[in-house]
Structures are given as structure tokens and as C-alpha cells.
Amino acid sequence: MTRNGAIFGVCLLLALVLLFLNKLSRKYIGEVKARIHYIHLPAGKVSTTPLPRELDLYVETTGFKLLWSKLLKPVDVEINLSALKESFAVTSEMRSSIASQLSAGYSLIEIMPDTLHFTFEKGISKKVPLVADILISFRKQFDFMEPMLVKPDSVKISGPENMLDSIKSWKTERLVFEQLDKSAQDDIALVSPKNPILIVEPKKARYTIPVEEYTEKTLEVEIQKANVPGGKDVNIYPNKAKLIFRVGLSNYEHVSAETFKVVADFSGADLNKGNYVSVKIERVPSYIKSLDYTPKSVEYILYH
């Protein structure tokens, strides 16, 4: 291509762009889709059919705005149903409210459809537990510092009574953590109702997963004697238990033999048969994991 040809091509392209921009700056009458957001539904009632979700608005505006609303930013309008008396609403009566919600430069001409139809029945609400569908695998040596927390712990479900009877809980969306080695906190969405008639509030929850590194620790703890028959002295052997467990680094220095209570319990022992009694642990801090101990039973000698 010659230099003159290239210049001509650039000038032609520039002219076409200017012509296109000139046309977009002019005003046109066109249709835009408006997404409906309902507020203040009739008190004590729920919709038993899906609510209409869109309006067709015929407006006069520039070509720029028409193109913008169609391609990039759909129009959103709120419709207040608190004063609804019938099973329908005439959209022409909402004209001033809808027009006031449009951006500057839009002139509302017509709303379609001319009527929105509704089916409302008496509804109920109930609270059910929120179940966090969060799957976690930890990196080696890491675990919960404290139990996972999800707030709120329950949700309110509103809808027809016959639909709510079978709902006993509600789930969050599934979230998966793999090889987690640090605490995590964020919002999580709730599962959307399969039936749009149901309303679940709130729409999201917040989870907190406290995580810390764990290490193994071993302690020797004196075995206490419990429920020894009256009037008798008893010796046990061995008289200490070896405890092996995992503990978070934040509690490593705080845990000691006094933290636990290990007992040889004679309440179920048949003193006429054998000379062993079982050992059990009666007090363990909640932050201890993977606890094991020996011995599981001790030998005893009774003195009358």
C-alpha cells in the first residue's frame, strides 16, 4: 500500500467513526429492559408463583445511552408492593415512580406490560439452623485452634406453610479448603432456594476458621483412686499414667500434669475376682487432640 493510500484509509476510518459518534449523540426512541426489584411485599403474605422480573421501557434518549443500557448496564427499578390491594398492579400508575429512578437523559414514554399479575397467599416464617458446607483438609501438623464459627447460626425462611414443614435446616454454598495452614475468614453465600417462592434471609453468612500449628507432647500424670470400698486401703501399680497428645503451639507451655485428671475407678470392680481395675481420664482440656495413654488398667492390692 502506498503512503497516500494509507493516509486515505486512516481518513476514511476517522470519518466513519465521527459519523457513528454523531449518530449516537442524536436522540432516539427505543426499548430497554428493566430488572424489577420488589420491596415491601404485602404484610403476612407470600407469592405462590414467581414474581414478574422484567419490564420493557420505551424511552427517548441518546443512542449512547441506549447502547450503554443494552450492552453494559441494564436498568434496575424498585417496585413497592406494600399498598397492593388486588392480585394485579397497573404499570401506568407506577409511571412517575419508575421515571424518577431512571438516570438523567431518559424520557419515559411507555411501560410494557401494562399489568403485573400476582398470586399471594398467607405465609409463615420460621428459623432453622444454618449448616456450613465447608470441607477442610489441613497441612501436616496444622488443625483447628478452636471450632469453626459461622454467623449467623440460623436463617429465617418465609413461604407457604405446606412448603416450610419439611425444611429442617439450610446450607451454605460448598467451599473447599485444601492443605490449610492459616486462619481464614470471609463471607459465604447461602444456597438459593430451588423454588423462587421461598425467601431466605440473610443471603450470606460469615465464617471464621481459626487454625494453628500443633506438636506432640508427653506428660506423666498421677493416677488418682476413686470409689474405693469403705474401710479399705489400696495401693495401685503403676501409680502414674503416660499421656501422649497433640497440642497447639499457643497452649504448649500452659498444659501440665495438673491440667488432666486420671483415675483408677473401683466403682465397677469385682474385688473378689482378679486384681486389676480400669484407668480412665476424667478431665481433658478442649484444645487437646489425638490423646492416647497407658496403662489402660492397673494392678491393685487391698489392705483390710
Number of domains making up the chain: 3
Does 116 reside within a domain?
Answer: yes
Global pTM reads 0.59
- 27 and 116 in one domain? yes
- 220 and 181 in one domain? no
pLDDT of residue 86: 81
Sheet holding 170-171, edge to edge: 170-171, 124-131, 154-159, 199-201
CATH at 222:
2.170.120.30
Count Cβ atoms within 10 A of the Cβ of residue 62 and give its class: 0-12 exposed, 13-18 middle, 19 or more buried: middle
- Give the residue from 64, 60, 63, 93 showing the smallest Cα distance to 79: 93
Lowest mean pLDDT among 39-48, 56-65, 76-85, 167-176: 56-65
Cell numbers at residue 91, please?
Answer: 404499570
- 161 and 76 in one domain? no
Range of the domain at 174: 124-209
- 281 and 191 in one domain? no
- Give the residue from 82, 83, 80, 165 showing the smallest Cα distance to 124: 165
- 133 and 98 in one domain? no
Does 6 reside within a domain?
Answer: no
Q: Which residue has the higher pLDDT, 62 or 140?
A: 140
- Give the residue from 284, 156, 303 showing the smallest Cα distance to 225: 303
Does 135 reside within a domain?
Answer: yes
209, 235, 258 — which closes off a domain? 209
- 111 and 31 in one domain? yes
Name residues whose C-beta falls within 8 Å of residue 129's C-beta, 6 or more positions apart in sequence: 153, 154, 168, 169, 170
104, 121, 138 — which closes off a domain? 121
pLDDT tens digits for range 165-203:
889 999 999 999 999 999 999 999 999 998 878 889 999
Does 50 reside within a domain?
Answer: yes
Does 93 reside within a domain?
Answer: yes
209, 241, 257 — which closes off a domain? 209
- Does the pLDDT at position 294 exceed 80? yes
Name residues whose C-beta falls within 8 Å of residue 73's C-beta, 6 or more positions apart in sequence: none
- 170 and 151 in one domain? yes
- 117 and 131 in one domain? no
- 171 and 235 in one domain? no
pLDDT tens digits for range 221-280:
999 988 887 767 888 899 999 999 999 999 999 999 999 999 998 887 776 666 888 899
- 136 and 98 in one domain? no
- Does the pLDDT at position 2 exceed 80? no
Does 1 reside within a domain?
Answer: no
What kind and span of H or E run contains 111? strand 107-112
- 156 and 222 in one domain? no
Cell numbers at residue 162, please?
Answer: 405446606
- Average pLDDT along the chain: 84
Cα angle for residues 85, 193, 134 (degrees, 5° grid): 145
Does 153 reside within a domain?
Answer: yes
Does 168 reside within a domain?
Answer: yes
Q: How far is CA 296 from CA 108, 222, 243, 278, in A?
A: 83, 14, 11, 6
CATH at 192:
2.170.120.40
Backbone φ and ψ for 273, nearest 5 degrees, come out as -130, 120
pLDDT tens digits for range 69-88:
665 567 888 988 887 888 88
